[in-house]
Structure 1
C-alpha cells in the first residue's frame, strides 16, 4: 500500500497493492496499523457508510461541525466518481483550495479526507457504489455544507450542468464566503 499526500496537508491518496491472476484479484482495502503508519497519525474509524448513485449525481460538499467533525476514508466499489475535498480550515495556507481525484473500481484508489475539509463527489459512470469510513458518528444537528457550484471554488465536476442531479438540500447550501462570514 502506498500513500501520497496531496497539495492539501493531511489529505492523502491511498493506493493499495493489488494482486491479480487468472481468477481475478485480491487487495487489502484497509489495515488500521498500515493506514496509521502511512498517514503518520492514528485514526480510529467508527462508522462505515455506502451510497448508490446514477450518472450525473453530485453529492456534497458536506462536512460535520464542531465535536462531530469527521475524517473519511473513501473509495469506489463499483463504477467511477470524481471525488473532491475542499480545505475549510480557516488557519490553513490552503484554505478554500480543493483537490479532485478520480476513484474507480479499476484503479482501487482511496482518498483520506481529514477533519476540517468539505467533501463531495460526482458520478461519472452509469452507476456507482461509494463506500466510506468515518472517524466520528453522524450527527444531524452538526451537518453543514458548501454549495457545489461555488464560483470561488471553481470545481469542474466533469458533469454537464444539464446532467447534474442534486438533492434539494445540496442546491441551497451557502457559498464558502457566506458560510464563513
Structure 2
C-alpha cells in the first residue's frame, strides 16, 4: 500500500486509512447507506437493500490491499467521509464512497471526488476513473454524470444471495459501469 502523507484541501484532510480506522469507517459507511440514519442524507439505499452494507473484514481487506487505498477524509480531526481507490491498469476504480448523512448536500462530495481523481492521477498515472452504481439509483447516477462521468450501458449482475452486500428488496437490481476520462 502506498501511504500518502495527509493532504489538507481547504478544511478537509485526506489520508490513506489504516487498520485502526476500520471500526469508525464501518459505522460511517453503514450510516450513509443503510438504516434510519441514512435517511437524513440523500445517498441511502435503505429502500432497496436491507442488512449491512459492509463489515469489518471487508473494510480491513480494502484498507490493507496492495494497489489500492480507502481514502479517509477528516475535518477538524474527525472522520466524516471515505472512498475506495483501486489501481486497475490504466484505470482506477472508485467505490465505497460515504459522506456522513448530516453533511450531505453541502458540496463535500464534489470536493472529495475531485481530490480522489487527483490522487488517482498522481499516484498511478491513470487515464480513467471507473465505478459501478446500482442501476435503479437514478438520482445518484445523475449526480455522477454532472461530475463528468458517463454512463456506459454496461451492466453487471447484482450478487443476489450474497448478504455481504445486503438483502435486496427488489428483483431488478444490477450495477452500471460509469467512467470518466482523467487525462
Using structure 2 for the length normalisation, give the TM-score: 0.31
The structure with more strand, counted as a fraction of residues: 1
Q: State the structure with bigger RCO (CA 8 A, min sep 6), 1 or 2.
A: 1
Using structure 1 for the length normalisation, give the TM-score: 0.31
The structure with more helix, counted as a fraction of residues: 2
